[in-house]
Structures are given as structure tokens and as C-alpha cells.
Amino acid sequence: MAASISGYTFSSVCFHSANSNSDHEGFLLGEVRQEETVSISDTQISTAELLQVVEIHNHDPCAQLFSFYDYAGKVNEDNLNRILKDRRKSVIGWYRFRRNTQQQMSFREQIIHKQLTQLLGVPDLVFLLFSFISTANSSTHALEYVLFRPNRRYNQRITLTIPNLGNTSQQEYKVSSVPNTSLNYAKVIKEHGAEFFDKDGVMKDIRTIFQVYSALQDKVQAVCGEVEQSERVKEKIQEDVNKLKQQIALRKRKTAEEERRLREAQNAESHPTSEENSEPSETSLLSRVAFHAPSAPERPGTSPNPPSYSDLLSQEDSLLSSSSSPTSAALLPRPQAVGSPGHPTPGPLGMGLGLSLGLGLGLGASSNPVPTPSTAYLGNGDGSSSDSLDRQAAGQEDDDDDDDDDDDDDEDSSEYENLVSEAAHLPMVSASVLAQGRPAALSPDGDARGSQTS
Amino acid sequence: ILYCGFYLWKMNNMSPEVALHRISPELRPLLCSVVRNGRVGLDSTNCLRVTDLKTGCTSLTPGPCCDRFKLHIPYAGETLKWDIIFNARYPELPPDFIFGEDAEFLPEPSELPHLVQWDAGDPECLLQLVKELIQQYHQYQCQRLRESSRLLFEYDSLLEDPNYGRNMEIYAGRKNSWVGDRIVLVCPSFISIMSSLSQDTALDPGEDVALLSVSFEDAEATQVFPKLYLSPSIEHALGGSSALHIPAFPSGGCLIDYVPQVCQLLTNKVQYVIQGYHKRREYIAAFLSHFGMGVVEYDAEGFTKLTLLLMWKDFCFLVHVDLPLYFPRDQPTLTFQSVYHFTNSGQLYSQVQKSYPYSPRWDGNEMAKRAKAYFKSFIPQFQEGAFANGKL
């Protein structure tokens, strides 16, 4: 059992007692509650400890001795009620103060205690004994106090703690759980409480903070929605891209097959053509890789100078069978050389380009066969590397993406010229690649020029 | 076993007068009767003692204002130390008590009439209340004896005997201390003896007491220690503590058999003493009548001494007669002393005669006559010796 008394109650009792010129007594008001502590340790599953806590909130001093009992120590219930009135139900004990006596319950105190236990119906009624000891020359006075629970057989003395009385430098200031029963306090709080509390008794600050929190939560929810939507869009586009890639691959395979057949057919008739035009026609070759036109594209001129891109463009226009786009130039990718003014904006278009370019040159060759120092590394949004050659090959994929191509058209074709001149700097392209990608008009062994007919 | 303070009657830490002086004036009469006249219990020689006077008033209250103290009460060979608490500011209120180590002693207030009808105006009220409390305490001890059936059996058997009745104090020893159970009772036949003795002797029945205390150290009564307590004057009258040996408690014996034994012994002794007293008186009286003017002086109270101045053939001499305690069993010592001669050490020449014709069965007259005859026969011898060995 643990017991505590608030500091102000204790000092009030002491004040009343010390000021009386005889023994003094009164009642202790408070509450008794049971505290259950469950402790879990490594060695045991759990142990529950039941602790009875007695809290003394207030006291009711008696005006005089023998006010509720007679000489024989018999308690008079009427007098008791008169003294306690409606506080009777919160009585948890009583106290006595006597100077210069032993810390032991006296004869009459024991008799009264028994009766009070019965009358008040408190089985564990406590008794607080104050004893004031003074030295002979009155130089030192000691106030001793002991809390008894006389109704028990053993362990009759309980330690009484007074919160915040002690060495507070080592302890925190404890807030007592003793309720404040002061009327004045209640009045003031009621008056000024409206500034801090709303009508439900909740602190206003809390509500405000909660509102902020709610707003933040709403915003987060909204952003979540947006993220979800954009994710779905991205998903859809990703699907589309994948589909297109599949189509490209399919087309390439078919084109390659057809070319092979054509070549085989041609080889049976004529000797292999020279490869003079191999270089200059590389560009045209590559740009036509994606085409699956049944007829062989018209061969560019056998002049050593490679045809300008614009010529190619015009030719390719006629080759395009499926598209009905206004200008084929719009469909062609825009190769980027070093120092080129513009750069297609990374986005769906860019991504589309990159991927298709990669695929375009994937026919038996690595997707990046021609990285040269002089060639600008064309970056697109998706990280796949592409170069000028790649870009050119992917002309067909631009069918779906008309928007940006208009912009591309506006740019001059100087870049293409650059590209064309740089075509000569592409030595690493393997002949086999070229052979595969060559238009049908070219001989397989590379003597493209030689086979050109005028 | 220690029995302290049992003989020490009237031994106070502070004399009653000092204590009373410090007590609050309104409470003084109550305490006065307790301290001065108070006899409680069997041991009426031991007064109640008051110590540790304290006050319940504030320290600024001018004195005297002591209203609480410790009362020492002899009981069954122990001393009870009870705190008595008054309130000086309210002297009409009855006191409260703290029963010291007997924390479980809780008398029923209805058995304490002087508490229920406390009358502060009656100076005897406190004393009466204390007596009532002691009665209750006695009953409380008897109840505690329930645990030790042996002593209870003894007590019950003694209780039935009208000789002892209620003149007994029981103390049930504590388990944790080395004090055993004890029963103290008054030797009953002694009371009657005392009253008869008091007429003849200087013994005061109110002051003197003879108590038998029997301690049982263990429940099987294998260690039993009896002790006889006599007030000093009785002890002296009976010939000192060495003269009075009581028999040991027979193992397996009962108090109901043993106590009468002891009492009988005591009675016999006392009877003997009384007889001796009478005999001595008779003796002296006879000598007085026989020797008349020859008597110089004699012990008129205890009749233990007699001095005669006699003359034989112009030879004067003194005869000192010393009567022993167990006269007439033991014969008196005669000391002859010359009035003329000195010894080397400056004393009067004397001779002691312890054996001379004597019989305890003679009466006083006979003894006087025989003594006279003896003197006549012995004196010449003495005279010669005096002249020979002494100096004038």
C-alpha cells in the first residue's frame, strides 16, 4: 500500500495542530484506488502487482476533543454526521496530533478506530498520528508522522509520501493527481477558459493544428490522385510504345526477307554491282532500311558526290506507301550534329525516335554501330543512345507524331548536309550491315557503284 | 531471570514532590494520590513511580503545565510502564493510555467504571482507574496463558483453593524474550501470622509482605524457579536471607502441593521467631525480677540483650547476656567483664562463656535461678583470671 498527501493538505494539518494548545484530531478525506502494474521481464511472462494507493486530498479538523465520542470512547453517530455532513463518503481515515508522546496508537484511539471502521464502512481506514517532540530547552522541535492501517495484522505502518517535498534538485517537479477542489479555482477557469477552450472543452490550439493537418492531408491525397493519373497515362504510352516497337521489328523482318529474296532473284540474273555507291548510298540506304516498299527504290545517281538529302527526301516521299503525311521530311528524324542549333524536345516524340532507331539498326547489328567522335551523340529522353544514322532510319515511325515534325521542317537542311559529309567518316560500319541494309538495287558484295545503271 | 526493583520500594527517580511541582495544578491532586498513597497489586511495598513528565501544550505556554507522564507499576515481578496522557487545558477530560510493550492489551471500557464515569474532582479517580486497569491486565495475562496450558492448570487449581483465592498475579512471558511465565502469590497463612506478629513486634503488616514467585521457563515445567520475596524488616526478623531456604520445586510437581509446603516452612519459621521473641521477653523479665537492682540495661524492644552489674565478695563485675535469634534453642552467650582490670589493648578484661549448664526446656525463672547459681560458681575463677591477666 502506498499513501500520499498533498503538500498543502499536510501543511494545513500541521498548522491546525501546531496552533492547538492540546491534542488535536480530525478526519482525512480523499480516495483509495487500486493500481495494477503488469511487468514483463525476460525471466517471467508477466507479473501483475496490485497496489492500493491512498490519496489524501483534504482534512476536516475537529473543533474540540471528545466531539464525536464519549469518555468510554463510544462513537456517537449523530455527532459524527453533524461534523462530517456530506463529506462523510470521502472519509478515508482520521488523524490525531499529540505532543511528546510515543508513536503508538493509544487505548482510546484503538477503540475509536474500530468503531469508525464499522460506521463509515471503510475496511482499510487509515490513522495518521502526528507527534511533536521538543527538547527540554525548546531548541529543537521535531514533527513526526506515521500512517497506520490498524485493521491489518501485519505491516501496519505505511510510508506517507508528500510529492515535491524532498530533494527536488534531483527529481522532477511532479504534478499531483489530486484533483483541485477549490471553488475559486473552478470559477476562474470557467471565466477565462473560453479563450483557450472551445465549447466542447477541447483546447483551441489543438483544433487549429488539427485543421492544418487536415488541409495537408487533403493536399497529399490530391497529389496522390494526380500521380496516379499520370502513372496511368505513362503506362498507356508505354504500352503503345511497346506495340510500335513490335511493329517495327515485324516490319524489319519482313523487309529483310523480301530484300533477300529480291537479291537472290537479282543475283541469278546479273553480276554483282560495284560498291562505288556504297558510301554515298549509305545514307540513302540507312534511311530506307525501314521501308518495305515492294519496288526497289530508285537508285541515286552514280556520281561520286552523294545526293543531297533533299533529293533523298523527295525520293522517299514517293516510296512511302502507308503514310499520307504532307511532307516526308516531317517524318524523318532530325539528326543532330555537333553544334546543331536545335534539339528535338525530349518527350514522347523523342522517346519514340530513340527506341525505333535502336530497333531499326538492330538487324544483325548492334544498335549503335557508328559512334564516332565527330558525330554528335544524339541523346533522347529515354537514355538509349542514338546517332545520326539511327535517326534517319526511323523515319517511318514519325507517322504518328506529326506535331513535332512540322517544327522540324522549318529547320534548314544544313544539318543533313553535315550528316552527308560525315557519312564518309563512318568506317566502322561493317560491310555486312551495309549489305543487309542496302536497298535492293545495290549488289550484295558491296560493289554498289558498279552496279548502278545510268 | 531478573527481578529488578522488587525490593526497592520507595526508590524513585525523582521524589514525588518534584514531580508534582511540574504537573499542571488542576491535575496535581490526581497524581498526588497515585504517588503518595497508591498501592496496587500484591506488592504493597512498592509504590507507583512517575517519570518522564511532558506537556501537551505549546512550548510557549508558561509552566507548570505537564500533563503526560509514564507510570511504573510493579506487577508479577515485572514493571509495567504505561503512558498516561491528559490535556492540561481540559483537565476535566479523562486520560488516555498507551500500554507500552503490551500493544495488544485492549481492555473493555465497560469494565472500567472509573473511566466511564470519570470525575476529575475526585482525587482518587485516577488511582481507582489504574487499579481497574490492572485487574483487566491480569485477566489479559490469564488469557495469554491459554497458550501455555501448564501454568494455566496451576493457576486454575490455586484459584479454587480459598487460601489463595485471587491474591495472585500472573504474568505470561513473551515468546521472544527470556522472560518465562510467572506466577506470584501471597503466602496466605503469612497474612494471619503477620497480623499476630505486628502486635508484638515492630513489623507493620501494611508495609511488610511475603510473596512467593514461581517462574516457569518452559512449558514442560522442567525449569521452575521459585523465589521468596520478603520485605526487609521481615527478612531481618527472620534472620536474614541466608536463614530462609525454600525447598526446590520438585520436577513434575504441582504448585498446589508446593506452595503449601513453602508456606508451611515460612510459617514455622515465623512461629519460631515469634516464640523466640516471647521466650526472650520471658527470660529478661525473669532476670529482672531475680536480679532487680543489678540490671544495668536491657533491650526493651527485641529483648536480645541484658547487662547485669553484680557483686560478689566485694568484687564487682558485669555480665552481658546476649540472646541469640533462635533462643531458646540456642543458649545465650554470657560475657563476664571486670570493672577494675584492663587488657593490654585497653579494653576491660572479659571472658565469654558459651557453654554452661543450660536447657532450653527451662522456663525463664528456672533459667534465671540457674544462671545465678552459675555466676556464683564461676566468679572466683573469673576473679583470679582478672587479677592474673588484667591490669588495674
Contact of B132 with chain A, judged by CB distance below 8 Å, is answered with no
**Strand A2-5 to A47-61 pairing:** parallel
Is it the case that residue A18 has pLDDT exceeding 80? yes
Q: In the structure, what pLDDT confidence band is assigned to residue B16 with cuts at 50, 70 and 90?
A: low
How many Cβ atoms are within 10 Å of B110's Cβ, its own excluded?
Answer: 10
Determine the pLDDT at residue A33: 87
Determine the pLDDT at residue B15: 54
Q: Which residue reads 525471466 in cell numbers?
A: A43
Q: Which of A74, A75, A100, A105 to mutate to test the interface with B (most CBs of B within 10 A)?
A: A100
Is it the case that residue A335 has pLDDT exceeding 60? no
Determine the pLDDT at residue A111: 95
Q: DSSP assignment, residue B36?
A: I
Q: Which helix (H) or strand (E) holds A117?
A: helix A107-120
Q: DSSP assignment, residue A207?
A: H
**b or e along B157-190 (b: 16 or more beta carbons within 10 Å of the residue's beta carbon)?**
ebeeeeebeeebbbbbbeeeeebbbbbbbbbbbb
| Greatest mean pLDDT range, A85-99, B242-256, B279-293 | A85-99
pLDDT, mean of residues B66-81:
88
Q: In the structure, what pLDDT confidence band is assigned to residue A360 with cuts at 50, 70 and 90?
A: very low
Please state, in angstroms and rounded to a whole number, the distance separating the CA atoms of residues B72 and B74.
Answer: 7
User: Residues B356-365: contacts with CB within 8 Å, 24+ apart?
Assistant: B356/B331, B358/B331, B360/B328, B360/B329, B360/B331, B362/B328, B363/B282, B363/B286, B364/B279, B364/B282, B364/B283, B364/B284, B364/B285, B364/B286, B364/B287, B365/B286, B365/B290
Q: Which residue reads 529483310 in cell numbers?
A: A256
Determine the pLDDT at residue B18: 60
Specify if B332 maps to a domain: yes
Q: Which residues contact A431 (CB under 8 A, 6 or more apart)?
A: A446
Determine the pLDDT at residue B206: 55
**Residue A241 DSSP SS3:** helix
Q: In the structure, what pLDDT confidence band is assigned to residue B164 with cuts at 50, 70 and 90?
A: low
pLDDT tens-place string over residues B117-160: 999 999 999 999 999 999 999 888 888 777 666 677 777 777 77
Cα of B157 to nearest chain A Cα, Å: 33
Please state, in angstroms and rounded to a whole number, the distance separating the CA atoms of residues B302 and B202.
Answer: 9
pLDDT, mean of residues A192-215:
87
Contact of B260 with chain A, judged by CB distance below 8 Å, is answered with no
Distance, CA of B164 to chain centre:
19
Q: Is the peptide bond before B74 cis (omega within 30 degrees of 0)?
A: no
- On average, the pLDDT of chain A sits at 71
Determine the pLDDT at residue A22: 92
Is it the case that residue A110 has pLDDT exceeding 90? yes
Residue from B72, B46, B75 nearest B182 by CA: B75
Determine the pLDDT at residue A213: 95
pLDDT tens-place string over residues A376-412: 444 444 444 444 444 444 444 444 444 444 444 444 4
Lowest mean pLDDT among A11-15, A252-256, A422-426, B85-89: A422-426
Q: Which residue reads 511532558 in cell numbers?
A: B54
Specify if B237 maps to a domain: no
**Residue A167 DSSP SS3:** coil
Q: Which residue reads 529515354 in cell numbers?
A: A382
**b or e along A99-110 (b: 16 or more beta carbons within 10 Å of the residue's beta carbon)?**
bbbbebbbbbbb
Cα–Cα distances in angstroms (integers) from residue B257 to residues B79, B117, B183, in the given order: 28, 43, 15
Q: Which helix (H) or strand (E) holds A274?
A: none
Which residue among B54, B89, B98 sits closest to A107, beta carbon to beta carbon?
B98
Lowest mean pLDDT among B252-261, B309-318, B353-362: B252-261
Chain B segment 52-111 residues within 8 A of A by beta carbon are: 54-59, 61, 68, 83, 85, 87-90, 93-94, 96-99, 103, 106-107, 109-110
With contacts defined as CB-CB under 8 Å, which chain A residues touch B87? 22-23, 65
Residue B347: all three cell numbers together:
579494653
With contacts defined as CB-CB under 8 Å, which chain A residues touch B69? none
Which residue among A73, A104, A109 sits closest to B103, beta carbon to beta carbon?
A104
Please state, in angstroms and rounded to a whole number, the distance separating the CA atoms of residues A235 and B361.
Answer: 150
Q: Write phi, then psi, for A28 (nearest 5 degrees).
A: -110, 130
Q: Given B123, B145, B167, which residue is the final one in a domain?
A: B145
Q: Which helix (H) or strand (E) holds A83?
A: helix A77-84
Which residue among A21, A100, A111 sits closest to B54, beta carbon to beta carbon?
A100
pLDDT tens-place string over residues A133-145: 888 788 898 999 9
Q: Which residue of B has its CA nearest to A71?
A: B116
Contact A334, A399 (CB under 8 A): no
Please state, in angstroms and rounded to a whole number, the distance separating the CA atoms of residues A13 and B69.
Answer: 26
Specify if B331 maps to a domain: yes
pLDDT, mean of residues A175-184:
73
Q: What percent of chain A has pLDDT over 90?
A: 32
Is it the case that residue A311 has pLDDT exceeding 50? yes
Please state, in angstroms and rounded to a whole number, the distance separating the CA atoms of residues A39 and A46.
Answer: 6
Q: DSSP assignment, residue A345?
A: P
Number of domains in chain B: 2
Please state, in angstroms and rounded to a whole number, the distance separating the CA atoms of residues A121 and A135.
Answer: 40
Those residues of chain A whose CB sits closer than 8 Å to some CB in chain B are 18-19, 21-23, 65-66, 71-74, 98-102, 104-111, 134, 138, 141
Residue B12: all three cell numbers together:
524513585
Specify if B180 maps to a domain: no
**Residue A88 DSSP SS3:** helix
Q: Domain span at residue B54? A: 12-145
Contact A406, A330 (CB under 8 A): yes
Please state, in angstroms and rounded to a whole number, the distance separating the CA atoms of residues A431 and A437.
Answer: 10
Is it the case that residue A312 has pLDDT exceeding 90? no
Residue B33: all three cell numbers together:
494520590
Specify if B168 maps to a domain: no
Residue from B180, B189, B188 nearest B151 by CA: B180
pLDDT tens-place string over residues A211-228: 999 999 999 999 999 999
pLDDT, mean of residues B272-298:
86
Please state, in angstroms and rounded to a whole number, the distance separating the CA atoms of residues A353 and A342.
Answer: 16
ipTM of the complex: 0.71
Please state, in angstroms and rounded to a whole number, the distance separating the CA atoms of residues A437 and A440.
Answer: 9
Q: Which residue did the predictor score with more confidence, B190 or B279?
A: B279
How many Cβ atoms are within 10 Å of B392's Cβ, its own excluded?
Answer: 8
Q: Which residues contact B384 (CB under 8 A, 6 or more apart)?
A: none
| Greatest mean pLDDT range, A230-239, A366-375, B173-182 | A230-239
Q: Which of A23, A132, A134, A156 to mutate to test the interface with B (most CBs of B within 10 A)?
A: A23
Q: Write phi, then psi, for B167 (nearest 5 degrees).
A: -85, 55
Is it the case that residue A349 has pLDDT exceeding 70? no
Residue from A39, A42, A67, A54 nearest A9 by CA: A54
- Amino acid, single-letter form, for residue B32: C
| Greatest mean pLDDT range, B58-62, B172-176, B253-257, B283-287 | B283-287
Specify if B312 maps to a domain: yes
Alpha helix locations (H) across A173-307? 183-192, 204-269, 280-288
Alpha helix locations (H) across chain B? 16-22, 28-32, 113-116, 125-144, 149-160, 188-200, 232-237, 255-291, 364-389
How many Cβ atoms are within 10 Å of A84's Cβ, its own excluded?
Answer: 17
Q: Given B110, B145, B180, which residue is the final one in a domain?
A: B145
In the Cβ-directed half-sphere of A239, how many Cα atoms lie within 13 Å? 5
Which residue among B87, B116, B117 sits closest to A22, beta carbon to beta carbon?
B87
Determine the pLDDT at residue B174: 64
Specify if B200 maps to a domain: no
In 3-state terms, chain A is what percent helix, strand and coil (to 5)? Answer: 45, 15, 40
Q: Given B145, B175, B206, which residue is the final one in a domain?
A: B145
**Residue B294 DSSP SS3:** helix
Specify if B269 maps to a domain: no
Q: Which helix (H) or strand (E) holds B245?
A: none
Contact B116, A72 (CB under 8 A): yes
Cα–Cα distances in angstroms (integers) from residue A178 to residues A4, A56, B45, B213, in the given order: 10, 8, 60, 60
- On average, the pLDDT of chain B sits at 79
Is it the case that residue B14 has pLDDT exceeding 70? no
Q: Which residue reads 564487682 in cell numbers?
A: B316
Q: Which residues contact B102 (CB under 8 A, 6 or more apart)?
A: B80, B137, B140
- Amino acid, single-letter form, for residue B392: L
Contact B207, B231 (CB under 8 A): yes
Determine the pLDDT at residue A11: 92
**Record: contact A107-B54, CB cut-off 8 A:** no
Determine the pLDDT at residue A386: 44
Please state, in angstroms and rounded to a whole number, the distance separating the CA atoms of residues B93 and B114.
Answer: 12
**Residue B341 DSSP SS3:** strand
Distance, CA of A71 to chain centre:
77
Determine the pLDDT at residue B125: 93
Q: Write phi, then psi, for A123 (nearest 5 degrees).
A: -65, -30
Contact A83, A68 (CB under 8 A): yes
Residue B172: all three cell numbers together:
505470561
**Record: contact B56-A109, CB cut-off 8 A:** no
Lowest mean pLDDT among A5-19, A191-205, A369-383, B101-115: A369-383
Q: Which residue of B has its CA nearest to A19?
A: B58
Q: In the structure, what pLDDT confidence band is assigned to residue A13 with cuts at 50, 70 and 90?
A: very high
Contact B158, B164 (CB under 8 A): yes
Residue from B143, B147, B138 nearest B218 by CA: B147
pLDDT tens-place string over residues A425-444: 444 444 444 444 444 443 44
pLDDT tens-place string over residues B198-208: 555 555 555 56
Q: Which residue reads 516510296 in cell numbers?
A: A319
Q: Which helix (H) or strand (E) holds B335?
A: strand B333-342
